């Protein structure tokens, strides 16, 4: 099932999500499958549960649509960044803030420890786009949007443009 994506400024996007406590359940498997379906339908490289209105620490990532590589679906539940190295500055967007892309500085490399749907501990190491996607998605689980990484000037400009789009009913 493809969910409708929650857009900024819905308050759920700025709340810290709750850890998942029940693993290896049909409900969790279905939710993760639906998150992938929703992400691929939107041509995104990552999706976090709050973006479909569920305030739980679950995110799915697949950079393949952007890199034209083989599919590489990654599920991170209750994830934590355990190592960050280097720096990359590159354009970033968000399915909850469609139409806006800005340069964001992130660690070039990131190692994340998380649980999979069975509740097993996994570690995922990524560089470049995968590292960026993991940092962006884990931010979502902490209620942080990429707007928070911009200068106040750029952030306010985007917020004003979104308010205008809302007034003109061009943003739902
Ligand atoms: Ni996002």
Residues 107-151 pLDDT 10s = 999 999 999 999 999 999 999 999 999 999 999 999 999 999 999
For 171, the token pair is 């943003």
The rounded Å distance from CA 136 to ligand 1 centre is 6
CB 142 within 8 Å of CB 91: no
User: What is the domain range of residue 19?
Assistant: 11-167
- Spell out which residues have Cβ within 5 A of ligand 1, the ion: 94
| pLDDT at 38 > cutoff 90 | yes
21 in any annotated domain: yes
59 in any annotated domain: yes
5 in any annotated domain: no
47 in any annotated domain: yes
The rounded Å distance from CA 3 to ligand 1 centre is 15
**Which listed residue (37, 70, 91, 137) is catalytic?**
137
127 is a catalytic site residue: no
Nearest of 131, 154, 120 to residue 81 by alpha carbon? 131
CATH value at residue 112: 3.90.45.10
141 in any annotated domain: yes
38 in any annotated domain: yes
Domain count, the chain: 1
Q: How much is the pLDDT for 123?
A: 98
CA gap 102, 35 in Å, rounded: 25
Q: Using the Cα atoms of residue 41, residue 54, residue 91 and residue 130 in order, give the sign of their dihedral.
A: negative
């Amino acid at each position: 099932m493809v969910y409708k994506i929650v857009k900024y400024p819905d308050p759920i996007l700025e709340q810290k999500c709750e850890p998942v406590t029940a693993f290896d359940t049909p409900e969790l498997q279905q939710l993760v499958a639906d998150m992938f379906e929703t992400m691929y339908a939107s041509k995104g490289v990552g999706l976090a549960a709050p973006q479909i209105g569920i305030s739980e620490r679950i995110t799915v990532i697949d950079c393949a649509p952007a890199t034209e590589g083989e599919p590489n679906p990654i599920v991170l539940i209750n994830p934590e960044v355990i190592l960050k190295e280097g720096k990359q500055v590159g354009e970033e967007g968000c399915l909850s803030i469609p139409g806006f892309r800005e340069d964001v500085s992130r660690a070039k490399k990131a190692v994340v420890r998380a649980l999979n749907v069975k509740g097993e501990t996994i570690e995922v190491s990524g560089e470049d786009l995968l590292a960026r996607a993991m940092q962006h998605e884990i931010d979502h689980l902490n209620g942080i949007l990429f707007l928070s990484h911009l200068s106040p000037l750029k952030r306010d400009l985007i917020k004003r443009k979104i308010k205008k789009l809302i007034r003109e009913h061009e943003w739902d």
